[in-house]
Structure 1
């Protein structure tokens, strides 16, 4: 997987193209952005506008509609199902196609009716591009633009449940869940909160070229529960309380009660056992019999429970802003999307679903968006902020507390 930053740069080239409408499907040719890494973006006298357009403009841009399937979209564009499965085979390393939702855009580049490139445009800050590298193979690039993060304070008072009060104040359902997960060991939100208790959250929203991307993160929060003050501050990707103690419990190294044989190790250059092509193996495979209980390796929130033709039934759990885990080839899921889970909780049964050479569990750990070797990578150990970072942490904490006190009527 390749990750790089790019800033959208529009080329002033317009070509006549028809706008096609077929039932619920709509296509809209549009200008497209090029990465900054490309040399010589200025159109020279010798440059062919048509050649430049072939690079920068997709043949079709499709906006996802409610009820769409990838198969029907490819059929409508007369792109073969064989090529769709070639893209899906590449997607097993990133599982991006399963995250498409109404409003997301697909860009198709075709050559003599055959797919050359497919871009998934989730937002101005996040795209995934599948490019043909051989007659029957695609590779992907994932593009992230950091953009600008703007902070705001969301504050409110308990009137009814915490969920309804926080939603009324302006937090999303996912953000309410995140607050609950962060403080789950400190307070029971259903039992302990009382009318009149207050909460304040510093939320950062991402913007690219002045436009919101829909991405947010929680920088800090405070819950004033009668005589208690509960806090959380994000520092270096992890959350800590007022005293710099970690709010995350230590991770488990393996997602099973006992150690199973490792049938395949993390290897970004592994040759695929079925196709024979070099494909990154972004996880660790455990030789688990079908039906083996699979455990969450850390506290978190389930963000995906779905099926993929190659990954099979799989689960994704996010553990704060920094960590994410994936569990593939399952036979049964025991949790649902949006559910908060605890370290050691049984979340699934292992299986042999999807493209698989035999019963096993494929387990992945991602840190800051990158797959890492889960058997060797540093994992959360519930340490407090180190002495060398205390000055920086205290400065961050005081800044966020001042924001919450000033704006949140603290």
Structure 2
């Protein structure tokens, strides 16, 4: 019994001593792992090296004023602007744009680096240290493919609003189909599907639509596919083609105003009660829209008139070629002058009420061979067809897109109780 007690005491003491010994054990230096906290960067610069000032260009601000507020004198500002004038015009900094100053951490807090955010993605770095340099950079952008569908009840924009979809996709769709669908005459039950890509900055901040890859629009029960396809590999030119490889671009847009409504049609036998129910021909098509809405050139051409005259009010007239001319009346102001060459879709003026008009609209007049005609009853020319040698490549490219579009479901229409 005593022997067993002795052995037990010995084991306890031995174990205790070993544990004490382990407490004092020195861990070899090579086994120590020290985790370094990565230094935080701002636009590629270590934040700890500077005093970081973030601000926005205010109305009336200039580059010189901003520099002066951060310890850079007039003579140095002149030296900076001269050195960078070919790369960055400081006179064009715009109010509302964000900028960042990286200033020295001493008592002077003088600007060392000026970073101007041109847009959500592009930014310009002006490094004022030592030799003055300019770098134009982009934030990391992720491209994400998305799809959407909808059924028209009243208008395209209203449908996009109801479905909580980006209006930028709606605007892009209206541009793609501008030559084939009159968006002022959409009908309830028209519907669409679209495959598009959206840009995200740093994987989380939306930065706008990248492109529409393919779409489907069913108007008056007629389906029209659209595919973005590179038809000129030398110049990297893209156009949108339908399922039969026909170019969706026409010589003339269907409307000079996006998302407006036709308030009065071309009618040579129109009778007006105000004038004793006499025939007063209406040789234009009126597109009603809010005051200040941009008016677009419906085709390329040269401005032959930009003036104000009588009942026309302020107007612009464009000669497109030896056959076609267009005219846009009742503007609040013109955006072009006589002699200017304009491209299809360029803003040439803004909706107003000048001249003889009872409400804000543009009266769109269309001439063919010197005679005013109804543009919606004309067989207007199309753009170039897809070169025949590209057809096999086009068919191969569009086949999986057609399958993908066809697999996108439409949301069930609400039941009418």
TM-score (norm 2): 0.48
Which of the pair has more CA radius of gyration? 2
User: Taking CA–CA contacts closer than 8 Å with sequence separation of 6 or more, which of the two structures ends up with the larger relative contact order?
Assistant: 1
**Structure number with higher helix proportion:** 2
* TM-score between both structures, scaled by the size of structure 1: 0.48
